[in-house]
Amino acid sequence: MREYELIVIGGGPAGLAAALSAWEGGLRDILILERDSALGGILNQCVHNGFGLHRFKEELTGPEYAGRFIDMLSGTGVEVKTDSMVLSISPEKQVEYVNPTDGCQVACAKAVVLAMGCRERTRGAISVPGARCSGIFTAGAAQRFINIEGQMVGRRVVILGSGDIGLIMARRMTLEGAEVLACVELMPYSSGLNRNIVQCLEDFGIPLYLSHTVTNIIGKNRLEKVVVSAVDERRQPIPGTERTFLCDTLLLSVGLLPENELTRAMGAEIDPRTNGAVVWENMETSVPGVFACGNVLQVHDLVDFVSGESGRAGVAAADYVRRGPAPAGRTLKLENGSAVTYAVPQRIRMEMVGDGVQVFFRVNRVFGKSAVTVKSGEKQIARFQRDHMAPGEMERILLPGKLLALAERDTLTVSAEEVEA
């Protein structure tokens, strides 16, 4: 059995950044396993721009952003196997994969980075009633058909969900000659970025219906119409508010789910808040030597932060291979305070903190002038000001080691609260 220092599962932005950092961290025997026929992951179908403003200080398209990392990787000795589907990973880090050239293989590694990304929630996940006709796509599937396969998916389109992929597809379909009749959002706010509401909807006069949802789907073979209703504050449809859109296509942009079948099967602990692995401060899962990063860990808004997180996972994997397991010692657990839906990492080993720990979290509603507090019991150890926070925008704070050392209890609570302007 071939033995590697590090095997990275997935060759999208997370896997690329992790492999590159591990190489820079001194590992020389690294394998990336990618199930698609090329590296780059979902970035390859994200032909729009807006990527890389943090990382490269310029505005790149998805393929360009991926291309930067693929170019950097080609200058290293990292081995890449494409068309390779990983079937299982054992806690002893034996990786079973299959591809058309090697057949079914098992390779083992001293460390593994999980970078499988996420997939879209489908119609089944949100239980939209109505006919089972054709013409209903997830936004990402439509994006792949149009931008990679060169197949137009429809002419008259309604989009359910105002996540970024849905907004991007509203513009994309319009530019390709389709008529986008409406973007329908269940919540009273969009979960997409403001800039996408402006440049994908407003630029093309596409109406956004907030606090609305699709309540019926009608069509014999192909979709013929959808019924949209307003919802009340408990998100229940309000009778009498129905309106009908004649359309042949419904795109669903209703959320993303980290793809953690391999992680679960391996026995790694999963956080029900993120549907991703529970990780330590260095992105290590509950299985020693197995790290997780990118959208398989927590669904990000910006690829730049995926690269950053994955870079840290790559460095940590290299440290694990070269120096062995992290030292035991005092640990802290991060918990949700008011208005916070999750925080990553979930656990912190004080021995490993160094300069500090970056903590990512989301809030459950829109905030204006506000503060993020981190408490240990009743004692506040850190406070951060914010002008604006929203569920669609991941928040990031840096907790310096000095402040973490002030924690009196073994749990830290992250909370958000309004402050007087």
Partner 1 sequence: MKELVCIVCPNGCRLRAYEEDGCRVEGNACPRGEEYGKNELLYPVRVLTGTVRLHGGAIARCPVKTVGPIPKEKLLEAARALCGVDVQAPVHTGDVVLADVCGTGVDVAATRTIL
Residues in contact with partner 1 by CB under 8 A are 37-38, 44, 47-50, 53, 59-64, 67, 146-151, 172, 174-177, 193-195, 197-199, 203, 301-302
Closest contact distance (angstroms) between CB of 61 and partner 1 is 4
Closest contact distance (angstroms) between CB of 130 and partner 1 is 32
Task: Tell me whether residue 147 or residue 229 sits nearer to partner 1 (CB atom).
Answer: 147
Burial (CB count <10 Å: 0-12, 13-18, 19+), residue 75: exposed
Closest contact distance (angstroms) between CB of 274 and partner 1 is 21
* Three-state DSSP class for residue 169: helix
Spatial contact of 120 and 16, defined as CB atoms under 8 Å apart: no
Spatial contact of 113 and 6, defined as CB atoms under 8 Å apart: yes
Cα 121 to its chain centre, rounded Å, is 12
Tokens representing 358 are: 């970056």
Cα 402 to its chain centre, rounded Å, is 30
Closest contact distance (angstroms) between CB of 406 and partner 1 is 31
Closest contact distance (angstroms) between CB of 213 and partner 1 is 25
Closest contact distance (angstroms) between CB of 56 and partner 1 is 12
Task: Tell me whether residue 151 or residue 364 sits nearer to partner 1 (CB atom).
Answer: 151
Task: Tell me whether residue 37 or residue 127 sits nearer to partner 1 (CB atom).
Answer: 37
Give the DSSP H/E element, type plus range, for residue 66. helix 62-74
Task: Tell me whether residue 281 or residue 395 sits nearer to partner 1 (CB atom).
Answer: 395
Cα 181 to its chain centre, rounded Å, is 28
Closest contact distance (angstroms) between CB of 313 and partner 1 is 23
Q: How many CB atoms lie within 10 A of CB 25?
A: 18
Burial (CB count <10 Å: 0-12, 13-18, 19+), residue 335: middle
* Rounded alpha-carbon distances, angstroms, from residue 25 to 28, 32, 242, 318: 9, 16, 58, 6
Spatial contact of 258 and 299, defined as CB atoms under 8 Å apart: yes
Spatial contact of 343 and 361, defined as CB atoms under 8 Å apart: yes
DSSP 8-state class, residue 45: G
Closest contact distance (angstroms) between CB of 258 and partner 1 is 21
Task: Tell me whether residue 47 or residue 350 sits nearer to partner 1 (CB atom).
Answer: 47
Spatial contact of 87 and 106, defined as CB atoms under 8 Å apart: no
Place of tokens 């093309």: 204
Beta-bridge partner residues of 94? 108
Cα 101 to its chain centre, rounded Å, is 31
Closest contact distance (angstroms) between CB of 118 and partner 1 is 19
Q: How many CB atoms lie within 10 A of CB 134?
A: 13
Task: Tell me whether residue 59 or residue 232 sits nearer to partner 1 (CB atom).
Answer: 59
- Sequence-distant (6+) residues with CB within 8 A of 1 are 94, 106, 107, 108
Closest contact distance (angstroms) between CB of 43 and partner 1 is 10
Beta-bridge partner residues of 103? 99
Task: Tell me whether residue 61 or residue 76 sits nearer to partner 1 (CB atom).
Answer: 61
